[in-house]
A and B are shown apart, each in its own frame.
Chain A
Amino acid sequence: MTTRTFGQRIRRNEDPVLLTGQALFTDDVNLPGMLHVAFKRSDYAHARILSIDTSLAAAIEGVVAIYTAADLGDYWRPGPLLVSPPPIKDVVFNTRTQVPLARDKVRHVGEPIAMVVATSRYIAEDAAELIFVDVEPLPVVVDMEQALDPAAPLIHEDLTQNLVAHVIQQKGDYAAAKAQADVVVSRRLYYDHGVAAAMENRGVVANWDRKSQHLTVWDTTQAPVVIRNGLSGLLGLSAAQVRVIAPFIGGGFGPKIMMFYPEEVLVPWVSMQLNRPVKWIEDRRENFMSTTHERDQVHWAEIALSKEGRILGFKDFFLHDNGAYGPYGLTVPINSQCTLLGCYDVPAYYSEFKAVFTNKMYVTPYRGAGRQHGVFVMERMLDFAAQELGLSVHEIRRKNFIPPAAFPYNNAIIYQDFAPLVYDSGNYEPALDKALDLIDYDRFVREEQPKLRAEGRLVGIGLVSYVEGTGIGPYEGARVQIEPNGLVNVATGIGTQGQGHFTSFAQLVADQVGVDVRHVRISTGDTDKFHWGTGTFASRGAVVAGNAVHAAAERVREKILKLASEELEAAPEDLELTDGVVRVKGVPGSAIKLGDLAVRANPLRGAVKPGMEPGLEATAYFGPERGVTASGIHALIVEVDPETMQVQIKRYVTVHDCGRVINPLILDGQIHGGIAQGIGNAFYEKVVYDANGQLLNGSFMDYLIPTSMEVPRIEVDHVETPSPSNPLGIKGAGEAGAIPTGPAFAQAVENALAPFGVEILEIPLSPNRLYELVQARRQEA
């Protein structure tokens, strides 16, 4: 191998088709005779359905069929519980999953009640508007802190309270730690996380071909293999009869994971009922109401420290607002519980949470997946402790970092992947030093800030650290094949939503078989191309599928060398693979093209020798025992306008450690995108429900996502602590950018508002909220 692309800033193979509008997205699938679906959705957050009248709607010309829950027969059943509760002692968990169409009652605004199938989406929406649902409105549970009140109305009436789960995890003895502590700090903290707001909404196109008895489904899912397996089971088909294609997707971020959303299970069924292709494309209003959210947690946290600033123990109780159903188990609150521990050596930890049902859209992971909440709590508590102890925010962190020699470090509690929370590797101080240096922390605090404050300007600096558990199992697989024309075909079962798989995976293969990265063609998200897999989530694509691709490419390389050594009559170690050719080192003219070798590996005459398989092809799987832990530091400088309370981010620095980096260009993009979403989370995005459970901001006019005007230039630097847990030494990076932004922003704004003595205990913030906090302090003073 003379050229190595691993670690190079290589432009993306997929960009030409994406940038010229040539890529296939679900809504681009248009089939002859295709029908269109619109849903009648609940206007009420909680109500009993008395009757549904579809007669006027059915009379509209162009309406082909209308279905309510009663029309689904045996197909009506609650969705699967996607992640069962982890094996934690005494865990309480009540499984209540979403239903395809509401039958007896509705539990959140936007819940589907009836499905209209028509010759156009326009007609389908006209008809949906004419479906009359007679309901008896029920009292509503909106505030999670009231959900467990004995007087609260029951969202699932077969339960005795609105409790999803009750979980306690602990290590060490917190009470003993507290007894020894010199300083104990406690606070109530609130963290709300908004919606993913992907550029592309959800969509499903299904085509049941009666003659071939085969179903093709194009689905904006992050996990096509899981959806294929689930749909075939639901529909009574063999998996071989179902092909699920997740084409290009305009952003996944979690809510497009293997959800088995009502629309996702209904559209394929309808296609089989009607023997017609059927399309449903979610519009933005539907996306706000009926694509899963993340949401708020309220924490009561306590940290116990020695006078030197060493953490002795941490205690936390929190409530988690789960919405109306719980299809994704406890992943989000478990992530909060585990990620709270961060980069720190915490000898004693007591963490208890209750997840509750409310009459709102249900919660499943969204980029960060609850990690934000935990990181916010720990980082804020360290800030408050630092203040009590007279330490700087970076000193207190440095004192408590897990030292490099302590890895693998066992946190002794159970993580979302059901394995003990073990950090495979980490080295936190170099990243901290780099970040302090990059943002010129000391000079800002010593010189710049006092000077600007004297001019009446409110400037502040923030710096936090975080870990991100990434790359969890169970496994992914890949098949690599050299074609007779020398191109390389790679197939994997994960889906792609913009992560750059067509390039980073191509690099891994190119490095093994010695071809140009542009000659490696990656296929993702098509269950007919690769049968096995789990999906793209939990920052696991590069780690798990990447290592599978690497392993398959290694095997193909071995095959190439074996066959070529026979063809060229040279020892394998004397061969080199470059530019699509196998050469005998130092023997000009003694070479064979990979394509020609591929033809010989698949001969028309003669024999494929025993022990060999035809073709230059191999399939491999990678199944890590547990995840790998990425980490980093975010630091920023902000200025708050003293009149309008607008916050301007003057600088944003991140030093990130995800082990070895396949492609720094792609990684930078991941970090930038994550931070943009983090900034939205910190200052702009909040889903607002009123007391009746009505969604008040279901459009981009009122739900504010940051634009290029609100996201500053982001300075990204890296530290590389390779993971010992996989051959490539890589860790995931998908969520890192989005995780620590909230606490970093809160610390910086609090620092800017230090002249007022404001304490920030919540995210998201807004000019209005900052004004209230400052006013409250002014009135106290």
Chain B
Amino acid sequence: MKPPSFKYHAPRSVEEAAGLLAEHGYDAKLLAGGQSLIPTMNFRLAQPAVLIDLNRIPELAYIHPAGDGGVRIGAMSRHVQVEKSDLIAQAAPLIHETMPLIAHPQIRNRGTFGGSIAHADPASELPAALLTLGGRVQARGAKGARWIEADEFFLGLFTTALQPDELLAEVRFPALPARAGFAAREVARRHGDYALVGVMALVGLDAGGACNLARLTYFSVGDGPTPAPQAAAALIGQRPTSEALAAAAELAASADIPEPVADIHATAAFRRHLIKALGKQALQQAFIRAGGAA
């Protein structure tokens, strides 16, 4: 479990990193927290010729308020910094609640917020949170910067819209709408393991107490963060009764994600069951928070 040899660069600025990416492209891998990349290299499953270490670029580590009431998170912010941030707790409470679900404290001390999103592991929490909250990411390369909306960012298994010469620089979350509620739920074999099934919910209520916003995103069920649009659509205009939520969760399992992945820890049938069970629990909590007791 030793990696093959590779060239190592430790740029001091985004420009320098972008230049190295432009030069090495597909041969290069970016090293952020290393919590996925280093084991993958030690198993020789990834054998990058060039490693570009982003850990000496201070300009990539920050948590700032955004003008619209949302937040901007620099890609090299450690999970633990986001977890402990008062700004995140106040302006992005779903993220605040999600952070302790991510692995173990040791991993959160090293792992980075941007790294987790760019890695696009289908079992990861943050890609699902990004989709649910309707966030976006800033990609930067030698040719400049561009914004990519969450729903255009995740393309499949460990695949994103980032080009080989781009790095993920910032993640931005909008403010929550008024009368919105959220929830994050997951079930894992052991505390800190990748989820067997996880789900993020964001809902909103109109003045009359009917649902006017519903987003439900699952993870660890497919090739990436997996939205349940039919389940969400079924809630719009409904009052959040227990029956309505159960019906929506049922729809997530039967219509949106009828064929979840199977592995040695959970069959597709058990995952469908968990999609239903966790979906209902998450919606319930989200509607309670939105002010409409379910």
Q: Which residues of A contact B (CB under 8 A)?
A: 121-122, 125-126, 129, 283-285, 643-644, 646, 684, 686, 688, 696-697, 699, 701-702, 704, 706-707, 709-710, 766-768, 771-772, 775
Contacts and interface: CB of A to CB of B under 8 A. Distances in A.
B193 A704 contact: yes
B255 to A, nearest CB: 20
Contact of B191 (A644, A707, A768): A707
B2 A121 contact: yes
Closest 4 CB pairs of A and B: A709-B191, A283-B1, A643-B277, A644-B187
A704 B263 CA distance: 14
B2 A697 contact: no
Nearest to A129: B44
Given A125-B2, A284-B1, A285-B43, A684 B277 contact: no
Interface string B1-34: 1111100000000000000000000000000000
30 contacts: A122-B3, A122-B5, A125-B1, A129-B44, A284-B1, A285-B1, A644-B277, A644-B278, A646-B187, A684-B189, A684-B190, A686-B264, A696-B264, A697-B264, A699-B39, A706-B190, A707-B190, A707-B191, A709-B191, A709-B192, A710-B190, A766-B265, A767-B187, A767-B196, A768-B265, A768-B266, A768-B270, A771-B270, A772-B269, A772-B270
Contacts of B167: none
Nearest to A686: B264
Contact of A122 (B2, B43, B273): B2
Contacts of B187: 644, 646, 767
A710 B191 contact: yes
Contacts of A696: 264
Contacts of B269: 771-772, 775
A683 B193 CA distance: 15
Contact of B5 (A126, A284, A775): A126
B232 to A, nearest CB: 21
A320 to B, nearest CB: 23
B267 interface: yes
B274 interface: yes
B contact patch SS? loop
B189 A767 contact: yes
Contacts of A707: 190-192
Question: Which residue of A644, A684, A709 has the most chain B CB atoms within 10 A of its CB atom?
Answer: A644
A767 B270 contact: yes
Contacts of B1: 125, 283-285
Interface string B181-222: 000000101111110100000000000000000000000000
Contacts of B264: 686, 688, 696-697, 702
A276 B169 CA distance: 50
Contacts of B4: 122, 125-126, 129
A338 to B, nearest CB: 33
A688 B265 CA distance: 10
A643 B246 CA distance: 13
B6 to A, nearest CB: 11
Contacts of B274: 643-644
Given A643-B278, A768-B266, 20 more contacts: A122-B4, A125-B1, A125-B4, A283-B1, A644-B274, A644-B278, A684-B189, A684-B190, A701-B39, A701-B194, A702-B265, A704-B189, A704-B193, A707-B191, A710-B191, A767-B189, A767-B196, A768-B265, A771-B269, A771-B273
A688 B264 CA distance: 8
Question: Which residue of B5, B192, B274 has the most chain A CB atoms within 10 A of its CB atom?
Answer: B274
Contacts of A284: 1
Nearest to A707: B190
Contacts of B193: 704
Nearest to A708: B191
Nearest to A770: B270
Nearest to B186: A644
A447 to B, nearest CB: 30
A771 to B, nearest CB: 5
Contacts of B273: 771
Contacts of A704: 189-190, 193
A710 B189 CA distance: 10
A766 B189 CA distance: 8
Nearest to A641: B187
A701 B103 CA distance: 11
Contacts of B2: 121-122, 125
A283 B277 CA distance: 40
A772 B266 CA distance: 10
Nearest to B266: A768
Contacts of A710: 190-191
A772 B267 CA distance: 10
Contacts of B194: 701
A493 to B, nearest CB: 34
B92 to A, nearest CB: 27
A42 B152 CA distance: 43
Question: Which residue of A699, A706, A767 has the most chain B CB atoms within 10 A of its CB atom?
Answer: A767
Interface string B265-294: 111011001100110010000000000000
A413 to B, nearest CB: 38
